A and B are shown apart, each in its own frame.
Chain A
Amino acid sequence: MIAELGHFALVLAFAVACVQMVVPMIGAHRRDMALMDVARPAAVAQFVLIATAFLVLIHAFVTSDFSLKLVYDNSHSTKPMLYKITGVWGNHEGSMVLWVFILSLYGALVALFGNNLPAPLRARVLAVQASIGVAFLGFILTTSNPFLRLSPAPFEGHGLNPLLQDPGLAFHPPFLYTGYVGLSMAFSFAIAALIEGKVDASWARWVRPWTLAAWTALTIGIAMGSWWAYYTLGWGGYWFWDPVENASLMPWIVATALLHSAIVAEKRGALKSWTILLAIFAFSLSLVGTFLVRSGVLNSVHAFATDPARGVVILGIITFFIGGALILYGWRAPVLKAEGIFAPISREGALIVNNLLLSAAAVAVFIGTLYPLFLDAINGPKITVGAPFFNMTFGPIMVPLLILVPLGPFLGWKRADILGALQRLIGVGALALVTFIGVMAFVSKAPWLAGLGMALAVWLFFGAFYELAVRISLFKGPLDVSLRRARYLPRAQWGMTFAHAGLGIVVAGIVGMTAWRHELVTALKVGESAKLAGYTLTLDKVGLREGPNYEAIVGVIHIREGDRDLGYMMPEKRNFPVEQQEKTEARIRTNGFKDLYVVIGSRNNQGAWTVRAYENNFAPWIWGGAVLMAFGGFVSLTDRRYRVGAPVRARARIIQQPAE
């Protein structure tokens, strides 16, 4: 009965979305307030209905209601509670419900907090947002109904893929989707602006926080996915250039470009139509990502045959939105008038170069991801595009961009003095040079690329903080003046510093992990030892352990570094009887600078256990840096500028102050 309620709520949400798509759009065209006012309650109602359906689905998973086909296929009564809940989005249908849930949440937020938006713009934004909702709700209801019943109801379910029964992956999809779908806001604003034929500073000021929120969530989602791959797949890699990963990287790259071009649109009134185009592309790539992951096309174009309806419907949705948006853009973009004039060497110019390089990087990833699918579709040879392709394309495009990052903030708007900016960065440049010489001189057999990479990381990290120091005139005047300046610096400024510094840390992590990684693969009998880069690993014993829904082989490995006793590490190999699958549980010991990564495999016929171990230098910095970047995005999001124009709250704060 409850499940039917969920299904009914989804159908109602679809109907509400249809109204929200049409009525406010007509209202905005006719300047009819009553029709425009339909948008806000409709957006909230749509959210409440989809939230109901989503909660019903969670309820069915939590109570193990196997009369639902989806629960039967993807859950099991012995599964831990956390994975019963996260199992909701560990499958096609459930993850699509999560997708529309987040979509309607964004719509409701605009409806509830968009008081300072001009009424026609708000009505149009919500109508465009609703049209995306109509497409995806229709997709769910016609091809991926999560509420299908089974009769008679089975007693037990099939369980969830053990690889997905992991805290890292449990929260990876919600973050990723918050990012993907968040870009729909930038898209809706772009389409609404094209329809109105007007882009002003307040438009850009509205687009920026939504893009920032989406970018922050996407950064966390991608970092989580990479961290999950690192510790569960058992070979200690952090990025495989797998099409599924690329599907999330492409919108991220374009969202990064959009974030920077929106600054120019907001502050200088220039690059308007380019910003709109980027907003369209960012969300289009999110749709392409959803298509790649959800249609099954990645396995093979021929896998379409298993469920042709799904792939074809999503492809139709993509064609409609991307094609429609680009036609509208081609028609309306010439109406938009560029204002701010600037010289090629200026902050605007630097941000254009940033955008061009990021777009080129996105194109490289796009081609590398879709070229094998294209060849497969025309029955060409079967190929794999892996790391070598991306190292040869993505790398060389990113390096000049990374070199320019610390320089950009030192360039003034309109017209800048590049020599002056370089002069101010001379100290940071010297530090980078010292790093290069230091790496080459003191690290034995260091590849020169590693030296350059570390120098680049230092240049990025200290360049970011040096810019902050200059801005608050640190050490140039009294300290309390500097501190006061730091306090009143806009949050967006702090956010940029953190994000750019985080980027430097990520670069250091990637370079260190690539250049100084040590690997050991060996077979050990109980009591035997092996050496890896200064560590001695002894297999003390191998035991069995009973988990809630698995049995594990546990290797007890004694670790020593020189004479120092580092204690035991206990990697596991888990066997899930319900799902009939095995899962490797690596153990990682980190000191913040390097990881020791240990995996146990199976026993050979001589009674020896395969043991695989890595020393991953600088590995933790990859995710640490990504977290700092996301933190920068979050800090920037709290900037006061995004709240001004909301006079009610500003007044409330003034009244509170004397009470403190």
Chain B
Amino acid sequence: MTRKNRRAVFILTGLAILGLAVGLILYATSSGITFFYSPSEMAQKHIAPGTRVRLGGMVEKGSVKQAGSTVTFKVTDFVDTMTVSYTGILPDLFREGQGVVCEGKLLPNGTFLADTVLAKHDEKYMPPQVADALKKVGRTKDGKLIKEPSASTPEPSNP
């Protein structure tokens, strides 16, 4: 095998592995990622039941109900509200009136079935997606209207 052939073998192997990696990544980005929506986006975008999504917002005060090991609560962005059901132990930092991110799917009856509930960090913290979603509808975390939404976020379609 000449030096040239040898080099060709290495380059082809490299390209084959690179191709494999790129192919896998492209395939996975089309089906392996999860979109994040707020309750009002869920209502606007007509998400098909069964699609895996993340839902984020504030846990509505007084909405948490436990039956057996299943918990139901309402997630709100103060414009729209969505009922979430979850079976299992809620994370340590889950609390009414605070930010939460739920991963799961929409059921045909319009409620959300979560298999993962995320509530991280301390009481001052709000999941950033939730903060952004709230900013989009022009509310603070306790539901008050913000006078001037920040310039960088698009103007909300909010009454």
Contacts and interface: CB of A to CB of B under 8 A. Distances in A.
Interface string B93-117: 1000000000100000000000000
Contact of A582 (B31, B88, B93): B93
A344 B24 contact: no
Interface string B110-148: 000000000000110000110110000000000000000
A356 interface: yes
Contacts of A299: 128
B20 interface: yes
B63 interface: no
Nearest to A361: B21
B93 A581 contact: yes
A602 B129 CA distance: 28
A610 B94 CA distance: 15
Contacts of B131: 300
Interface string A354-370: 00110011011001100
Contact of B34 (A349, A386, A573, A581): A386
Contacts of A396: 20, 24
B9 A363 contact: no
Given A388-B31, A521-B89, A605-B66, A343 B13 contact: no
A385 B128 contact: no
A580 B3 CA distance: 69
A392 B68 contact: no
Q: Which of B1, B6, B33, B67 has the most CB of A within 10 A?
A: B33
Nearest to A385: B33
Contacts of A391: 32
A493 interface: no
Contacts, number: 141
Interface string B28-65: 11011111100000000000000000100000000000
B92 A583 contact: yes
B28 A604 contact: no
B128 A300 contact: yes
A382 B35 contact: yes
A381 interface: yes
A579 interface: yes
Given A356-B17, A581-B92, A389 B87 contact: no
B32 A392 contact: yes
Nearest to B89: A601
A393 B92 contact: no
Contacts of A302: 128, 132, 152
Contact of A604 (B36, B68, B92, B123): B68
Interface residues of A, number: 57
Contact of B92 (A300, A368, A584, A605): A584
B20 to A, nearest CB: 7
Interface string A123-152: 000000000000000000000000000000
Contacts of A582: 92-93
Given A300-B129, A357-B17, A392 B24 contact: yes
Describe A's contact surface by its main secondary structure. mixed
B69 A523 contact: yes
A353 interface: yes
A357 B17 CA distance: 7
A413 B31 CA distance: 43
B79 interface: no
Contacts of A161: 122
A379 B151 CA distance: 13
B1 A382 contact: no
B89 A389 contact: no
Given A360-B17, A392-B27, A610-B69, A383 B36 contact: yes
Contacts of B18: 356, 360
A353 B93 CA distance: 46
B56 to A, nearest CB: 9
Contacts of B27: 392
Interface in A154-173: 161, 163
A604 B122 CA distance: 24
Contacts of A573: 92
Contacts of A371: 29, 33
Contacts of B123: 580
A391 B14 CA distance: 22
B150 to A, nearest CB: 9
A278 to B, nearest CB: 14
A397 B28 CA distance: 13
Given A343-B1, A604-B66, A604-B67, A384 B33 contact: yes
A579 B93 CA distance: 12
Contacts of B154: 379
Q: Which of B6, B66, B122, B129 has the most CB of A within 10 A?
A: B66
A582 B89 CA distance: 13
A352 B13 CA distance: 9
Q: Which of A357, A396, A605 has the most CB of B within 10 A?
A: A396
9 contacts: A234-B89, A344-B10, A356-B14, A384-B35, A385-B32, A393-B25, A397-B21, A581-B92, A584-B92
Given A382-B132, A389-B32, A583-B92, 10 more contacts: A344-B9, A360-B20, A385-B29, A388-B33, A389-B33, A390-B32, A391-B32, A392-B27, A608-B68, A610-B88
Interface of A: 161, 163, 234-235, 299-300, 302-303, 341, 343-344, 349, 352-353, 356-357, 360-361, 363-364, 367-368, 371-372, 379, 381-386, 388-393, 396-397, 521-523, 573, 579-584, 599, 601-602, 604-605, 608, 610, 612
Q: Which 10 A-B pairs have the closest CB atoms?
A: A300-B128, A389-B32, A601-B89, A360-B21, A604-B66, A382-B36, A392-B28, A388-B32, A582-B92, A344-B9
